[in-house]
Amino acid sequence: MKKTILFLVACALTCLQFPVDAAQTPRKTVHTLKITVLSTMLADPGIGEWGFAALVEADGHKILFDTGARPRTVLDNARELKVDLSDVEDVVLSHFHHDHTGGLMTLRQELMKTNPRALSRVHVGEGIFLPRRFKEKEHVNQMIATKAEYEATGGTFIVHDKPGEIVPGVWITGPVPRPNPEKNWQAGVEMNIDGKWMEDTLPEDESLLFQTDKGLVLLSGCGHAGVVNTIEYARKILGPQNVFAAVGGFHLYELPDDKLAWTAKMLKQYGVTQILGAHCTGIESLFRLRELMGLTKKSGVVATVGAQFDLSSGMETGSIAR
């Protein structure tokens, strides 16, 4: 029981223990940043699926953020888009769900034929390997088996229980505190901590942050911790500043109108001027955000496979989403 309490309290109090010092430290800045979507529902070109993955290129550093749902989706889409993943060594998994982790082993096994170090480090949030069950059916966390399989290839999992800078100017949030009531996870799923089953709140949910001269850029897989909670935490980690852009999945597709309006108000308050919404953001929800925030077709964009956010040139998406 003591370990259970400590784990849950740690997730809630991380922002009190870490970001104060980080915010006071001179920040390294990312000067070039490109994010290319490799898995989402709309494909133009490529293969669409209920999943998410994106390649990050920041000042010459490459990071694969999530790995899609089906084993070959990201691999095949990257090849069709002529995106080289063989020199990517770092992977970030936003949370344990299969639609964000399903391609990891195929990608690792295929790419290490060219480069043994390809996808050799996987950054995850504390809690990703917890046992889960749904309607009392256990073993619904495939990441437990994946961990053993992946480590057998020589790969390493790096578990984050607090924010950290993984390359200059690029920060991983680790588990995100949740002062705002953004509850956007599936009911009925439970996690086991020290033998006790409790509601699965996806405590490991994490995002990437990029410090740029234009403000923060946020990359999210599903945003189960809440996009507003994540942005507020980002501003505690790296200091109060506008969030220039939000990219990825934000799990807004099921939100009722009043909660979506609140989300739009808060995003506007924190200076978000560009959104590239993929995966669980939802198409209708993105359109409503665009309207509520006063964005345009060029600044509030639905992502397709191959869609890009570029710090210098803005956002591009497939013709089907324009």
pLDDT one-digit tens code per residue, 62-97: 999 999 999 999 999 999 999 999 999 999 999 999
- Average pLDDT of the chain to the nearest whole number: 93
194: left (phi over 0), alpha (psi -120 to 50) or beta: left
Q: What is the pLDDT of residue 62?
A: 98
Q: 243: helix, coil or strand? A: strand
CA distance to 20, 22, 50, 81, 209, per residue, from 236 (Å): 7, 8, 32, 37, 12
Q: How far apart are CA 128 and CA 107, in angstroms?
A: 20
Task: Please give the angle made by the CA atoms of 12, 18 and 21, to the nearest 5 degrees.
Answer: 150
CB crowding 136-173: b at 16 or more within 10 Å, else e: eeeebbbbeebbeebeeeebebeebbbbbbbbebbbbb
Weakest mean pLDDT among 4-8, 113-117, 282-286, 316-320: 4-8
Weakest mean pLDDT among 6-15, 51-60, 113-122, 161-170: 6-15
Query: What long-range pairs does 291-298 form, CB within 8 A, spacing at least 24?
Result: 292/260, 292/261, 292/264, 292/265, 292/268, 293/264, 293/267, 293/268, 294/268, 297/322
Q: How far apart are CA 156 and CA 181, in angstroms?
A: 34
Sequence-distant (≥ 6) Cβ neighbours of residue 222 within 8 angstroms:
52, 94, 95, 97, 100, 202, 205, 249, 250, 251, 279, 280
Q: Is pLDDT above 50 for 239?
A: yes
Q: Is pLDDT above 60 for 1?
A: no
Q: Is the whole-model pTM more than 0.85?
A: yes
Q: What is the pLDDT of residue 15?
A: 42
Q: How far apart are CA 186 and CA 83, in angstroms?
A: 33
Q: How far apart are CA 90 and CA 92, in angstroms?
A: 7
Q: How far apart are CA 266 and CA 287, in angstroms?
A: 16
For residues 142 and 98, is the Cβ–Cβ distance under 8 A?
yes
Weakest mean pLDDT among 3-12, 153-162, 288-297, 300-309: 3-12
Q: 76: helix, coil or strand? A: helix
Q: How far apart are CA 275 and CA 39, in angstroms?
A: 17
Q: How far apart are CA 78 and CA 183, in angstroms?
A: 33
Q: Is pLDDT above 60 for 164?
A: yes
Q: How far apart are CA 194 and CA 3, in angstroms?
A: 7
CATH fold of 2-6+29-315 reads Metallo-beta-lactamase; Chain A (3.60.15)
Q: How far apart are CA 281 and CA 279, in angstroms?
A: 6
Beta carbons within 10 angstroms of residue 181's beta carbon:
10
Q: Is pLDDT above 60 for 267?
A: yes
The alpha-helical segments, DSSP class H, found in the chain are 2-17, 19-24, 73-80, 98-101, 104-111, 143-151, 227-238, 257-269, 283-293
Q: What is the pLDDT of residue 136?
A: 77
As given in the structure block, the two tokens for residue 189 are: 């799923």
Beta-bridge partner residues of 309: 35, 315
